[in-house]
Structure 1
Amino acid sequence: MTKTLAAPLESELIIKKSRFLGRIEAITSQQEGLLKVEALRKSHPEARHVCYCLLVAGQVRQSDDGEPSGTAALPMLRVLQHKQLDNVLATVVRYFGGIKLGAGGLVRAYSQAISEPLNQAELIEVKQQGELSLKLDYEFQSLLRHQVEQTDIELTLDYQQQIHALLQGEPEKLETLYLNLREATRGQVERLG
């Protein structure tokens, strides 16, 4: 069972005048994680480094952002993997204090900035996500919208000769929604792909 965070966590460490601001939060896609990293860079323009590690569906993206290779993102990744986390972004913003920490000192600082807040973390199970593509007549649009509003399924509509709907959510909920729509429309909803 893979886990993610129920709520974002933050930490602040000061080591030899360098300030390390750690943050760990749940994300649903690599793109979401990269946008959060970019926002962090903009909100900390004076920071020397904004290092990150993100894990989504077992896929890793990371950056040492100018720190010596292997001293920032890799130690952060090891902490996340040790806790068996997924769908998570770990970032550490470093304000350089003028005293070099050495490779070992950097590894400890970046690990600690992520591991300390995780000791108090509330973890939740990562729910598998699926997709369902449907084609239906315009007369059933309000029925579709109403059914989707009763769940936590995401809906994207594409208006063509018929409506093409892309639904994203937990596979069991998608299947239940599809069966309910087929019944309510007497089979006039078509699964695509």
Structure 2
Amino acid sequence: MSEPLSTLAARCRHQQEIRKSRFLAIAAPVRSGEQALAFLREVADPAATHNCWAWRVGRDYRFNDDGEPGGTAGRPILQAIESQQMDGVAVVVTRWYGGIKLGTGGLARAYGGTAAECLRLAERVPIVSMARLAARVEFAELALLKARLKDLHAQIASEHFDADGVALQLQLPDTRVDDAVLLLRDLTRGRSEAHRLD
């Protein structure tokens, strides 16, 4: 079974010198391609020789060699993200040229290795797959339901009151959906059912 996906808890950085060139990796958690590109624009150093980058959010990903020979920078950075089972992550590796050419293999190792070490040292948080449920309860059952939902790490995304009770939308970890359905059924003595919205 493959390792579960994780993302970064916060921004992180790692710097190393390789044959007189300085490489600085800065990585951050991101939720969208737009957020990744904004991060890239923010941390890229215009005075550096190259600002190479990659990001992955779900099935979407992009990478850029920023003038280095094709395939020697952006793709190795993306491979560092993927090999560490990470998602929702952007990494910029900035290079200040030190006068010694590294060759295509050396460049790929330098960019990929700097990115991989930055991610390896970073604090991670697991990515939890979430589900949404719709349910309806009577007013008298609402307080107890709210108290019990905390045990399932569920949150109420919305609640609408009318004359007959409360219509709820819940957000909770995918692994707790069956528990929530049983809880609702038990609490309402079978009068209410939860339905998935996604």
Instruction: Tell me if TM exceeds 0.5.
Output: yes
- Distance, in Å, in 2 between the alignment partners of 1:158 and 1:168 is 15
Q: Kindly indicate whether residue 194 of structure 2 is the aligned counterpart of residue 191 of structure 1.
A: yes
Equivalenced residue count is 185
Whether contact under 8 Å (2:53, 2:65) holds in the other structure is yes
- Distance, in Å, in 2 between the alignment partners of 1:36 and 1:165 is 30
Amino acid at match of 1:146: A
Whether contact under 8 Å (1:5, 1:123) holds in the other structure is yes
Whether contact under 8 Å (2:51, 2:95) holds in the other structure is yes
Whether contact under 8 Å (2:135, 2:195) holds in the other structure is yes
Runs of 5+ consecutive residues of structure 2 not aligned to the other structure: none
Cross-structure match for 2:135? 135
Query: Superposition RMSD on alpha carbons, in Å?
Result: 3.9
Instruction: Identify the range of structure 1 (107-116 vs 141-150) with the bigger mean alpha-carbon deviation.
Output: 141-150
Q: Kindly indicate whether residue 82 of structure 2 is the aligned counterpart of residue 70 of structure 1.
A: no
Q: In the superposition, relative to structure 1, how do residues 176 and 108 fare at CA in structure 2: closer, same or farther (>3 Å)?
A: same
Amino acid at match of 2:144: L
Q: Kindly indicate whether residue 17 of structure 2 is the aligned counterpart of residue 14 of structure 1.
A: yes
- Mapping for residues 62-141 of structure 1, pairs under 5 Å: 62-64=62-64, 66-68=66-68, 69-83=70-84, 85-87=85-87, 89-97=89-97, 103-117=104-118, 129-137=129-137, 139=139, 140-141=141-142
**Cα displacement (A) at 1:143:** 3.4
- 3-state SS, counterpart of residue 74 of structure 1: helix
- 3-state SS, counterpart of residue 71 of structure 2: coil
Question: Structure 1 length normalisation: TM-score?
Answer: 0.67
Identity %: 23
Question: Structure 2 length normalisation: TM-score?
Answer: 0.66
